Each structure stands twice: as C-alpha cells, then as structure tokens.
Chains A and B, each alone.
Chain A
Amino acid sequence: MSGSSVRDSIDDLVDIAGLHVDFGTPSRPLPAVEGVDLSIGAAEIVGLVGESGSGKTMTALALLDLVDFPGRIVAKRMAFAGRDLVPMRATDRRALAGRDIGMIFQDPHASLDPCYTVGYQLDEAIRLHGSAHERSNTGMRRERALALLRDVDVPDPSVRLSAYPHQLSGGMAQRVMIAIAIAGRPRLLIADEPTTALDVTVQAQVLALLTRLRDELRMAILLITHDLAVVAEVADRVVVMYAGQVVETGNVPALFDGPRHPYTRALLDALAIDEHERLPTIAGIVPAPNERARGCLFAPRCTRAAQRCEDERPALVRGQGGSVRCHFPLRSE
C-alpha cells in the first residue's frame, strides 16, 4: 500500500515495499536502509528528505541496482511500471538505468567525465537510449543532442557540444546532466541533491526546469534533498527519512502546515531564522549504522521522548493523508 489512500496503488509508477540495504554480515548487520516503503505515481514529484546518513541516496541507488559491494539489497517488492524487479535477472534490472529511470547527482562537475566533451557524453546516451530514428546516423544524433540541450535551456547549444565539463558553469553543467538523463525519455528521474552545489539563483532555475520537464514529458521525479525549502517549492508529496527508516510521509501542503513527527517539526524549525538571527540546529547527530538502538532511533534527539520511546520501536502507521512512525505524533489524523 502506498502512503496516500487517495490514489490507487495500481497507478503507481514505483512501488517499493520492505526495502533493506545492509552493508554488514548476518552476525553484524550494518543497515543503511531499514524496511522502507516508497511509492511514486506517474508524473508525481516526490521529495525524499533527510540528513546525510538517513539512507535516502541508498534507497534510490537500490532502485537502479547501483549499490556497490558489500551492500546487499533485500526487498519484498520493488515494482517499476507494474513489473517487480526483485525476481528479475540482474541484466534485465540494469537495463532500466538510463532508459526508464534517469538519475542526476549532486555535483555536476564531478558527475561528468572531465576527459570528454559534452557532445560525446550526450551522444553516448542517445546511442543507447534514443529512438531508432534518432540513432540512425551522426547527423540525426547531433540534432537530437541539440534538441535536448535546448529543452534544458542551454543557450548556444552548438557551441556547448564541443565544450569540456570544466569549461561550464555549475548551473550549465547540471543542465547538461539533466539533458543526458532525459535522453531516453525516462518515466522517472531521480535527482540526488540537484541544487545543493549550485548558487541560490541558479537553484531556482534548475527547480523550475525540473517542474517544466515533469509537465512536458509526463515524467515522475524523485527529488532527494536535505533541504525542506526545495521540497516545499516543487514537490507534490514528501517522504521523510531518518537513520534508514521512513518516519513520515504526506502531501506537501498538509505536512508543512502540520507535521506529525517530531523530526519533521525540527527540520521545519531549522528552516526559520530566529529573532537572534541564528539558524537553529537539531542537537546531536544521526546514529551510525552500527549504533542503532533498540527503541525509536530518533529518541536521543527528541524533545518529547518518553520511556516507551527508548524501549520500543514505533511502527509506521498509515492514515488518510500519509503515515508516521512515532509513539506520540504531534497531531492525530
């Protein structure tokens, strides 16, 4: 079942249930992702929010089967467009990458190969995932490359084709990354911290671009970020993760109006600058994978923690508008 009961789960583009990603051994587990359920509807923008160490990137990588050894993926169900990836052969699973699911990363300069031109790297994607027509010859591929660059608002695309990544600005490089990612017309774009490494003005442009692409291409976006402000701007739904677990989900307006998990509340508070012009922080740090406690993982940092919180792990409770994992949520449904 997905986080919202308003939508039927059959419509979901992505339906992940019970995802575990573990980096340890059976005797000494090191869970990066624990029992995560995640669903994304077609052309829906879902924000996946959490601090570093929350497991949000690992969840996305699991979907693309890009988790490196020694990480192991175990899931009850990982469905994309109705097909369950779990029983599939690895080669079939990896065939989704680039074609049905695109991914862009945080640092665009680090994500582009510094030794090859923009045109070359675009061409690689077009050769693999372009339609037969687009792939047919060099001229057609160049046309498609130029069209992609125009789609992502890159000015002077023909000049940019022969540029090297280090010659591009941060915003430009990120657009190129997006162009490469959508070359195969994927139905889902995973954006891992796409604006974190960019200037504030450029951030807004890139977010607007992503929204526009969602509308034009009917493409869902999994927007991974630690910044709730970004989520507030573009996302339809939010999934909040902490220490490898989902702690709250909900529609954006509802969650921002009234968060139910104390962690979400704390994240929202951190957005505001208090009257002394200091950014409030959440005391403490995310527990490392080998330090996971018996009770609620957020309890050590929670201002509302009671004895029950330290003894018993709360389960994820689903409701009308979303779900929450807390013994004492901030408001009831």
Chain B
Amino acid sequence: MLAFLLRRAALVVPTFIGVTLLAFALIHLIPGDPVENISGERGMDPVRRARLLHEFGLDRPLPVQYAAYVKDVLRGDLGNSLTTHDSVAREFATLFPATVELAFFALVFALVVGLPAGIIAALKHNTVADYAVMGVSLTGYSMPIFWWALLLILFFSVQLGWTPVSGRIAVQYDVPAVTGFMLIDTLLARDPGAFRSALSHLVLPTIVLGTVPLAVIARMTRSAMLEVLREDFVRAARAKGLPRWRVVIVHALRNALIPVVTVVGLQVGLLLSGAILTETIFSWPGVGNWLIHGVQSRDYPVVQGGILLIAAIVIAVNLVVDVLYGIINPRIRRA
C-alpha cells in the first residue's frame, strides 16, 4: 500500500513541473511585446521600457527566468493583477471558497440524485425506468450548461420568481467573511434571513453545475452495477439467503462503487470547468468568474496565476482520489 502511495505521489511531480512550464510559457507565447503584456503599459518610451525589461528579469536567459518563476511560485508570489494591483495569490485565496462552496454542493447534488438513479436503472434494467434514467442522463451531458442555466433562470426566476438570478446573497445583507463559505458565515453571524438568502442563491447554480456530473455518475453507476450484478458472488449471496436489499447495497453497490469513485474524481476537473461558465452566468464571485475577466481584460498575471492554481488543485484532487481508490479496493490495500 505504501509503495502504491509513494509511486502515485511521485507521478505528481513531473506533471506539476509540466504545468508550471505551461504557465510560464503562457506569457512568452502571447503575441506582442512581453514587457507591455506583463506591465500592462502601452507605448512606453525606450528608456522606461529598458528599465522595466530589467526589472521584470526579461533580459535574462529563459531557463533562468523559469527558475526564478518557479522559486516565486513556491514562495507563493504569483505577481499582481494589472487591473486591481492586488496580489494574484491573495485574490485567488479570497475568491476560491466561493467556488468550492458551489462545487461542493453541486457534487453532493450529483451524488444524491445520480447514485440512486443509476442503481434503480440497473435493477430495473430494460424497463421504462431504465430508459428514462438513461435518456435524462444523455440529455444532461449533451446540453450546453450555460443554456441550461438560462432555461432555469427563465423558468424559476423570471416566470415563477422563486429564485434570484445573480450573486451569492441578496445585496442588503452584509455578512462578515470568516470562513469564506457563505452558508457557514451566515450561521456564524446568527442571521437567519441572510442564511435563507444565501441558500436560495445557491439553488440554481448548484443544479446547473451539478447536472453534467449527475448524468455521468448515473450512467457510470448503472453500468458498474449491471456488471457487478452479473458476478458470481452476487448469486452466491442470494443463495446464502441474504435479503435483496442487503445483496444490492452491501455487496453489489460496494463493489460497483470502485469504478464509480474514479469517475467521481474525474468530475472535479469538469466541475472546475463548469464553474467557469456557471459563475459567469450567475455573477457568482468565484475564481472562474475572476479568470474569465482576466482573460477578457488581458490581465495576464491573473490568467497565468489562475491557470496554475486551478491545475495544481485538479492534480491534487486526482491524487486524493487515487489514494481513496487504493483504500476502498482491498486488492490494493492488502497487496
């Protein structure tokens, strides 16, 4: 088990190096003058340009620049935003909890609806219920999620007026940010009105972001269950006289979860992609929204830092998922 963990952790290093290379290369691949791109100033006089060139270290050879960049990254220095002049790392840290809160609830939503749907579809293989689940699932991941968001807004916010359209909480509430997670912070501030408002703002974005993972999880659970239900030990468990629910949940599902966990782990990357779009539509103040504005306004330190950090997080999560997989699969745990 330990060998497995070490091996798996070791794989992270080259991947992470690759990502830093990509982020570093980003600035230098952008067409135009790197000095202008990094400083945000246009049409400087040559003297100032030369000074900035030296200040940014752009006159040194590339490998040296890269080494300096990596050193800065490891120290936590990712430069400053060209628009706000704030530290990129700090801006990311401030906005990240909003994205996490959204992604967390979206994943919970996807699991709570998707897992049972997949199980039921497998148990009722080739019946209407099965086709319904598969059909909804197929539609779910064939849909552009920004369109799905617009439809939900059209129906629930505009026509029914049940849910708000943008932001994390109604404007009138001013909740001190202790953890960065709005639901927790409103509870800490003992403001039930604020809590309700935060909750209602979460509903639509959660559904939108969670739809594709839900579809994938339902599908994956169904096919994993169908395979497991065919296995000999399921028949042996029934021959043992175990009640049906026990055979399905304790034995079949437990085994089916092994491939499903891997898929769920892969969803994290998708959740972060989807968060970019979801946050844009709902004006949700998370890192996705921040990154897009960075791209649109050519705020390159933001783009560079954002990509690096998000990629690092995805890599870290994939590592955690692999470890989890090793734990729940006894063949690896006790190898």
B237 contacts the other chain (CB 8 A): yes
Q: Write out the residue numbers on chain B whose beta carbons fall within 8 Å of the beta carbon of A106.
A: 232
- Nearest-CB distance from B43 to chain A (Å)? 67
B47 contacts the other chain (CB 8 A): no
Across the interface, do A99 and B231 meet the contact criterion of CB distance under 8 Å? no
- Nearest-CB distance from B327 to chain A (Å)? 11
Across the interface, do B239 and A66 meet the contact criterion of CB distance under 8 Å? yes
Cα distance, A112 to B246, chains bound together (Å): 15
Closest to A117 in B: B330
Which of A5-13, A20-28, A124-132, A232-240 touches B? Answer: A124-132
Closest to A65 in B: B238
Cα distance, A97 to B240, chains bound together (Å): 6
- Nearest-CB distance from A306 to chain B (Å)? 42
B233 contacts the other chain (CB 8 A): yes
Closest to A190 in B: B239
Across the interface, do A166 and B231 meet the contact criterion of CB distance under 8 Å? no
Other-chain contact of B235, A66, A98, A102 (Cβ < 8 Å)? A66
- Nearest-CB distance from B36 to chain A (Å)? 59
Other-chain contact of A110, B231, B241, B331, B334 (Cβ < 8 Å)? B231
Cα distance, A96 to B240, chains bound together (Å): 9
Q: Write out the residue numbers on chain A whose beta carbons fall within 8 Å of the beta carbon of B239.
A: 64, 66, 97-98, 102-103, 105
A328 contacts the other chain (CB 8 A): no
Cα distance, A158 to B231, chains bound together (Å): 28
Q: How large is the interface on A (under 10, 10 to 19, 20 to 34, 35 or more residues)?
A: 20 to 34
Using A110-B231, A114-B233 as known contacts, say yes or no to A128 and B242 having CB atoms under 8 A apart: yes
B223 contacts the other chain (CB 8 A): no
Q: What 0/1 readout, one digit per residue, does chain B (242-262) give for beta carbons within 8 Å of chain A?
A: 100010000100110000000
Q: Write out the residue numbers on chain B whose beta carbons fall within 8 Å of the beta carbon of A114.
A: 233, 255, 330-331
- Nearest-CB distance from A299 to chain B (Å)? 34
Using A114-B330, A114-B331 as known contacts, say yes or no to A128 and B241 having CB atoms under 8 A apart: yes
Using A114-B255, A164-B330 as known contacts, say yes or no to A180 and B231 having CB atoms under 8 A apart: no
Q: What 0/1 readout, one digit per residue, does chain B (148-166) give for beta carbons within 8 Å of chain A?
A: 0000000000000000000
Q: Write out the residue numbers on chain B whose beta carbons fall within 8 Å of the beta carbon of A115.
A: 251, 254-255, 328-330
B17 contacts the other chain (CB 8 A): no
Kindly name the residue among B235, B236, B237, B251 whose own CB sees the greatest number of chain A CB atoms within 10 A: B236
Cα distance, A25 to B17, chains bound together (Å): 62
Using A164-B330, A164-B334 as known contacts, say yes or no to A98 and B233 having CB atoms under 8 A apart: no
Count of interface residues, chain B, beta-carbon cutoff 8 Å: 20
Closest to A103 in B: B239
Q: Write out the residue numbers on chain B whose beta carbons fall within 8 Å of the beta carbon of A96.
A: 241
Closest to A184 in B: B241
- Nearest-CB distance from A330 to chain B (Å)? 37
Closest to B328 in A: A115
B73-106 interface (Cβ within 8 A of A): none
Q: Write out the residue numbers on chain B whose beta carbons fall within 8 Å of the beta carbon of A164.
A: 330-331, 334
A205 contacts the other chain (CB 8 A): no
Cα distance, A164 to B333, chains bound together (Å): 11
Q: Write out the residue numbers on chain B whose beta carbons fall within 8 Å of the beta carbon of A97.
A: 238-241
Kindly name the residue among A110, A111, A113, A166 whose own CB sees the greatest number of chain B CB atoms within 10 A: A113
- Nearest-CB distance from A21 to chain B (Å)? 15
Cα distance, A181 to B231, chains bound together (Å): 18
Cα distance, A104 to B236, chains bound together (Å): 7
Closest to B239 in A: A103
Using A164-B330, A164-B334 as known contacts, say yes or no to A113 and B233 having CB atoms under 8 A apart: yes
Other-chain contact of A103, B236, B328, B334 (Cβ < 8 Å)? B236
A125-154 interface (Cβ within 8 A of B): 125, 128-129
Q: Write out the residue numbers on chain A whose beta carbons fall within 8 Å of the beta carbon of B331.
A: 114, 164, 166
Across the interface, do B334 and A105 meet the contact criterion of CB distance under 8 Å? no
Other-chain contact of A95, B231, B232, B241 (Cβ < 8 Å)? B241
Q: Could you show 5 A-B contacts with beta carbons less than 8 Å apart?
A: A97-B240, A97-B241, A98-B240, A114-B233, A115-B330
Apart from A110-B231, A116-B251, A166-B330, what are 7 other A-B pairs with CB-CB below 8 Å?
Answer: A97-B239, A104-B236, A106-B232, A111-B236, A124-B242, A167-B334, A181-B240
| Chain B residues in the interface with A (C-beta under 8 A) | 231-233, 235-242, 246, 251, 254-255, 328-331, 334
| Chain A residues in the interface with B (C-beta under 8 A) | 64, 66, 94-99, 102-107, 110-116, 124-125, 128-129, 164, 166-167, 177, 180-181, 184
